[in-house]
Structure 1
Amino acid sequence: MKKTMIALSLMSLMTGLTGCNENQEAVSATIHQQHVKAVGAFTEAARELESTVETLCQANTDDNLAASRSAWQVLMQDWMVFQGREKGSEQALALAWQIQFWPDKKDITGRKMEQLLAQDAKWTAESLAEQSVAVQGLGAMEWLLYANPDKLSQSKGCALAQAVSQRLIHSGEALAEAWKANPWQAMTPQLALGEYLGALTNQLDFAMKKLTLPMGKPGHPRPYQAESWRSQTSMSNLKANVQAMQSLYLAEGKGLDALLRAQGETALADRIAGQFDSLLAGWPQSASMGALLKTRDGYRALISIFNGMEYIRFALHDEVSPALGIVVGFNATDGD
C-alpha cells in the first residue's frame, strides 16, 4: 500500500513538473514573439523617420520639422522596449550602443557631431558606420532635430541627418535579423525562465538608473544627465519603459503573472500587477524630467516613481524568484 502511494505521489509530481515545463516553454515562445513584434515596429518607425527627414531636407518648414520630431519620438519609444534588458540574442545586445549612446555624461554626442560637421565630407550611412557609435543613433538625431535644427537648413547638416536616419534603418534591420531565432529555445525551461526574469530585473535596474542620475542628491539635481534632455521627453521615455516591463511581466497572460497564479501565489501576483497599474495611473503629466526637477512637488513625484519601481524590484528578487525556484545572478548594472 505504501509503495503504491509513493508511486502515485511520484507520478503526480512528475505530471506537475511536466505541466510546469510546458508552461515555461510557452512563455519562452511568447516572449520571443513579443520581441519580434517590437523589432518590427522599431524598423518601421526608423523608415518613417528617414522619410520625414528627407522631406524636411527638401523643404525646411516648421511643419516638416515637427513631423520629423514626432517620428523620432515614436522611434525612441519603440526602442524603450529593448533598452536595458541585457538578455536574449547576443547579436541584438551588441547593437545597443550604436542605436542609443547613453549615458552620455560628457556630451560626447554633441562634440562628435560638431566634429563631423566641421569636416569637408558628405556623410552617408556607410561612412558613418566607421565613426563613433555616439553619432550613429537616436541621440545624434535628437541633437540635430532639437538642439541644432538650424543646421538642417545647410546641405552638410541635411546630409548628416539623412545619414543618421539611414544608419538607424540599418540597425533596425540588423536587430530584426538578430531576433529571427528564439535565443531561449535550446535552453532548459528553468534556465529560460531565469533569463526571462533576468531581462525584466535588468531593465528595471536600468530604468531606476535613468531616474537616479538626473535626480542627484536632494537639492542638487543634474537635469543634463537625464535621457533625452534636449527634446524634454525623458518622462515619456521612462513611461514607455514601465509599459514595456508590464507587458513583459504579463506576456499576454502566459508570463510571470500567470506562472505565479498557477503556483497558488495569487496575492503576490496581484501586488506586482497592481504596482505596475498604480505607477502608470499616477504618472506625471510632464514629459520632461528637467521640469519636475525644478520643484519640490516634482522631485517628490520622481521619488514616488523610484519607490514604486524599487518595490517591484524587491518583489521580483525576494519573492518571485523563490516562489518559482529561480536562481538570480548578478545583473548588468551591478557594481555601478
Structure 2
Amino acid sequence: MQDLKKLIGIAALSLASANAGASTEVDIEQQARSLWHDAILAGYQSLATNAGDFSRAAEAYCESPDYASRKSVEQAWLNAFLSWQKVRFVDFGPVENNNTAWQMQFWPDPKNLIAKKARYLIKSDAEVTPEVVDQSGVAVQGFPMAEYLLYDEPLNTSDTGLPAANTCRLLTSVAEHIQNNSEALASDWQSLRESYLTTEQYRDATIRAGMGALEILEERRLAQPMGMRGTGKRSKYDADAWRSGNSLKTVEASLEGLKTYFLPGLSLLLNNSSQPELTQSIKGQFDEALGHFPELREPMATLLQDESFSQLQGFYVDLSQLVVLVNEMASVELGVVRGFNSSDGD
C-alpha cells in the first residue's frame, strides 16, 4: 500500500508539471519512463521479498513438517506467486536473460512436462540438489513446479508426496531457485535505470508489454479455458495455477499489477496527447474489471460450471473492453504497433 501511495504521489506531481505546460514531449516521455521504472522496481522488490519468505517457509516445513508449517509454506508460495503475477507483464530487460520469465513460470504446459519431470527427479536414485534444479530446465525451476509439489492430489496421496525426503529437497531447491532469480531481477532492473530512462525505445517496449499482457489475459488465460478458443471445450487445464485453484486470483493480481505499475506512466502520456479523456476511460475500465473480485476468487473448475459461468462471462466482457481501450485506442493515439510477444507460449 505504501508503494502504491508513493507511485500515486509521483504520478500527481508529474501530471501537475505537464499540465502547467513546463514539459516538452521529450520531458513527458522521460517522466513516463521514470514512473514505469520506479513502479516496476517496487514490484520486483516485493517479489524478491516474498520469494525469500517462500524459500524460508519451505525450509522450515521440510525441517519440521506439520499442519501449521504446511499451511505456512502454501501461503508463502501464493504470496510470492501473486507478486510475480503483478510484474509478469514485463517481457523485456533482465527478465529476458536466460529465459528467466519461463524459469519463473513455465506455462502453458500442454504436455504436462512439470509432472513428468517431477516424477523423474523424485524417483531418481540421485539426490535432488539446487545444482540439479539449475540444470533441469525451465519446467522444473519455477512456481508451477512448486505448485505441483504442494497441491497435486495423486502425488500427495502417494508415498512420494510431501514431506518425503527427495520431494522436500526438490521443493526447497525450487524455492531457492525462485528466490535467486527474484533477487537478480530486482538488482538487474535497478542497474538498468540509466539506460531505461535515456533510451526512447523503452517507451514503446513498455507499452507493448502492457498490451501483450492484456491480450494474453483475454485470449489465453480466460477465453481458452472458457472454451471460446482452441478446442471450443471448457477446461480448467488450459488455465494456469489450476492445481491450487488460484487461476482467477492470478488473473486479479495481473490486473492489479498493470493498474499499479503500468497505468500511471500510460496515463501521463495520454494526458499529454490529443485524447486525454482516454485516461479516465481506461482507469474506469480497470475498476470495472477488478470490481468482479473478490466474488471471482474461485477455482476455475467451479466457475466453468453452468451455474457460475455467467460470472466469468461478465468479467470477460469487461476485460475485453479494457483490451480495446488500451490495445486499440490508446496504442493508436500513442503510435505504438502491437508486435510479437515472446511470453505468449505459441
* Other structure's SS at 1:152 match: coil
Query: Residues of 2 paired with 1:276 and 1:241: CA distance?
Result: 11
Q: Among residues 226, 229, 250, which one is paired with 2:239 in the alignment?
A: 226
Matches within 5 A, 1:246-285: 246-251=259-264, 255-263=265-273, 265-283=275-293, 284-285=295-296
Residue 336 of structure 2: aligned partner? 327
How far did 1:204 drift?
Answer: 0.6
Residue 164 of structure 1: aligned partner? 174
Query: Residues of 2 paired with 1:287 and 1:178: CA distance?
Result: 35
Residue 199 of structure 2: aligned partner? 187
How far did 1:16 drift?
Answer: 7.1
Residue 137 of structure 1: aligned partner? 142
Q: Among residues 110, 117, 120, which one is paired with 2:125 in the alignment?
A: 120
Residue 237 of structure 1: aligned partner? 250
Residue 202 of structure 1: aligned partner? 212
Q: Among residues 217, 223, 238, which one is paired with 1:212 in the alignment?
A: 223
Does the CA contact (< 8 Å) of 1:92 and 1:179 recur in 2? no
Check 1:98–1:294 CA distance in 2 against 1; reply closer, same or farther (3 A cut): same
Residue 9 of structure 2: aligned partner? none
Residue 40 of structure 2: aligned partner? 35
Residue 301 of structure 2: aligned partner? 290
Aligned residues: 315
Query: Residues of 2 paired with 1:270 and 1:33: CA distance?
Result: 22
Check 1:335–1:133 CA distance in 2 against 1; reply closer, same or farther (3 A cut): closer
How far did 1:120 drift?
Answer: 0.8
- Which runs of 5 or more structure 2 residues have no equivalent in the other structure? 1-19
Output the amino acid matched with 2:196.
W
**TM-score (normalised: structure 1):** 0.86
Q: Among residues 44, 47, 50, which one is paired with 1:45 in the alignment?
A: 50
Does the CA contact (< 8 Å) of 1:293 and 1:299 recur in 2? yes
Deviations 1:184-232 (A, max 9, x none): 33422xx332222111101111212111221124983111221111100
- Which runs of 5 or more structure 1 residues have no equivalent in the other structure? 1-14
Check 1:335–1:39 CA distance in 2 against 1; reply closer, same or farther (3 A cut): closer
Query: Residues of 2 paired with 1:72 and 1:56: CA distance?
Result: 12
Output the amino acid matched with 2:222.
L
Percent of matched pairs sharing the same residue: 25
Query: Residues of 2 paired with 1:212 and 1:301: CA distance?
Result: 14
Output the amino acid matched with 1:301.
Q
Structure 1 stretch displaced more, 64-73 or 141-150: 141-150
Output the amino acid matched with 2:135.
E
* Other structure's SS at 2:86 match: coil
* Other structure's SS at 1:185 match: helix
**TM-score (normalised: structure 2):** 0.84
Does the CA contact (< 8 Å) of 1:92 and 1:178 recur in 2? no
* Other structure's SS at 1:121 match: coil
